Amino acid sequence: MKDFEGIKGEVWTRLASEAIEAQNRAYAPYSDFAVGAALLLDDGSIVHGCNVENATFGATVCAERTAVGSAVALGKRKFLAIAVVTPADSCVAPCGICRQVLAEFSEKLPILLSNNAGEHEFVTIDELLPHRFRKSDFV
């Protein structure tokens, strides 16, 4: 895999592999659409996230947000990159809520989008959500 946004190709390869591990732990009995995420922290550690569905759908939590929640619960708030893997035929970007949550912690976060066929695409959170709501908008 290539280098992207200052993250070496071998790190992206590891993140993709760990996102697949997380995907294998997803709880998706309603959609059968298991998603995994691997979030690289500033200390070099990686936190996993997977989607957790619920019969009331509104209570469903996406993989990206479970990864962020796990990192924050560990006291970590500086993220360097995230890889997300889905079973879709193409590379699927995070939903709007996940984009906003990711942007809260890193305005330039590089993202690897992958699918189970091994296809991948690189984007940044700024490309996905250029006009996001920011803390400064409260004023």
Residues that constitute the known binding site for Zn(2+):
62, 95, 98
Structure tokens at 2: 């290539």
CA separation for the pair 29, 46 (Å, rounded): 26
Quick check: is 64 catalytic? Answer: yes
Catalytic residue among 10, 18, 64, 121: 64
Residues making up the annotated binding site are 62, 95, 98
- The residues, any chain, with a CB within 8 Å of residue 20's CB and separated by 6 or more, are 36, 85, 116
Structure tokens at 68: 């962020």
Report yes or no: 60 and 54 within 8 Å, Cβ to Cβ. yes
Catalytic annotation, residues: 64
